[in-house]
């Protein structure tokens, strides 16, 4: 709902040149962690030249947001304009220097980006954003083991950083270390025990490991995912597969088959037909 409202405001603000509505949209996207880079660039191109002064103190947050969007969209001139304004206002800011590091990463100037990040970290070893950029830099180069070591070191200090645990989960998948990936998801469950996605992924990871008690664990996690999201076909299918791997799961398999068959009964797509065929 929030995205639809912001999208409609965005379209009308483009037509009317409504800088106040555009500011509201940009700040809302930023607060929600939504990059929407193409849309941000489109707004910035008419907003900043004509209305930067009207934005008052919000202009610097928007400059930073536009810098990231410009990097994503390879809008070099727009990036230079916004970065220059930030650098002039905050000449010693590590946060502004990190933007330049991101630009260097995007340009695949990894050595220069690493040098910049190490300089920032030398000035402030507790700079969490810088340490996470170093992890991203290593991962971008395919240095997954080094990225994992760096992120594990970071998490010794910032243990409640859910974003970092999720990134570590993804890195462990890259090196096929599924048991460590499961451990990351368990940490995420502690941070947010009501997140359906964490239980679903735990079920999938344990099913993929597939030895010892992992099928039982997979069934338990898929079942818990369904308590949080009863309409998830993915969790139902996972529960069906995991239950079929253990002796006590025959009744659950039959129930899942019936439930999924009913869910796909009205489907007209090829994928629905294929799904129904697997349930026969």
- In terms of C-beta density within 10 A (0-12 exposed, 13-18 middle, 19 or more buried), how is residue 197 classed? middle
Identify the CA nearest to 219 among candidates 198, 244, 197.
244
CA angle, 3 then 196 then 1, to 5°: 15
- In terms of C-beta density within 10 A (0-12 exposed, 13-18 middle, 19 or more buried), how is residue 240 classed? buried
Site of tokens 């993804």: 170
Residue pLDDT tens, the chain, 280 long: 344 444 555 554 454 578 999 999 999 999 999 999 999 999 999 999 999 999 999 999 999 999 999 999 999 999 999 999 999 999 999 999 999 999 999 999 999 999 999 999 999 989 999 999 999 999 999 999 999 999 999 999 999 999 999 999 999 999 999 999 999 999 999 999 999 999 999 999 999 999 889 999 999 999 999 999 998 989 999 999 998 888 877 778 888 888 788 777 765 443 444 444 444 4
Q: Determine the pLDDT at residue 261.
A: 80
The model's pTM is 0.82
Where residue 33 falls (left for φ over 0; alpha for ψ -120 to 50; beta otherwise) is left
Identify the CA nearest to 133 among candidates 145, 151, 158, 152.
151
If you compute the radius of gyration of the chain from its CA atoms, what whole number of angstroms results?
24
Tell me how far apart the alpha carbons of residues 192 and 194 are, in angstroms, rounded to a whole number. 6
């Amino acid at each position: 709902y929030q995205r639809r409202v912001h999208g409609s405001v965005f379209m009308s603000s483009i037509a009317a040149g409504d800088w106040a509505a555009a500011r509201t949209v940009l700040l809302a996207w930023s607060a929600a962690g939504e990059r929407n880079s193409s849309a941000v660039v489109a707004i910035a191109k008419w907003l900043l030249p004509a209305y930067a002064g009207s934005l008052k103190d919000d202009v610097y947050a928007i400059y930073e947001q536009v810098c990231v969007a410009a990097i994503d969209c390879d809008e070099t001139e727009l990036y230079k304009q916004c970065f220059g304004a930030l650098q002039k206002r905050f000449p010693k800011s590590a946060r502004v220097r990190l933007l330049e590091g991101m630009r260097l990463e995007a340009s695949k100037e990894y050595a220069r980006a690493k040098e910049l990040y190490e300089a920032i970290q030398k000035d402030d070893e507790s700079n969490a954003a810088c340490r996470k950029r170093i992890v991203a830099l290593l991962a971008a180069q395919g240095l997954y083991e080094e990225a994992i070591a760096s992120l594990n070191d970071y998490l010794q200090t910032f243990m409640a950083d859910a974003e970092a645990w999720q990134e570590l989960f993804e890195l462990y998948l890259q090196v096929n270390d599924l048991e460590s990936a499961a451990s990351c998801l368990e940490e995420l469950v502690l941070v947010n025990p009501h997140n359906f996605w964490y239980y679903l992924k735990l079920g999938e990871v344990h099913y993929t490991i597939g030895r010892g008690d992992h099928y039982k664990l997979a069934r338990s996690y898929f079942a818990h995912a369904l308590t949080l999201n009863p309409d998830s076909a993915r969790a139902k299918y996972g529960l069906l597969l995991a239950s079929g791997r253990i002796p006590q799961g025959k009744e659950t398999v039959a129930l899942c088959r019936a439930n999924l068959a009913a869910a796909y009964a009205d489907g007209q797509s090829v994928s629905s037909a294929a799904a129904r065929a697997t349930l026969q």
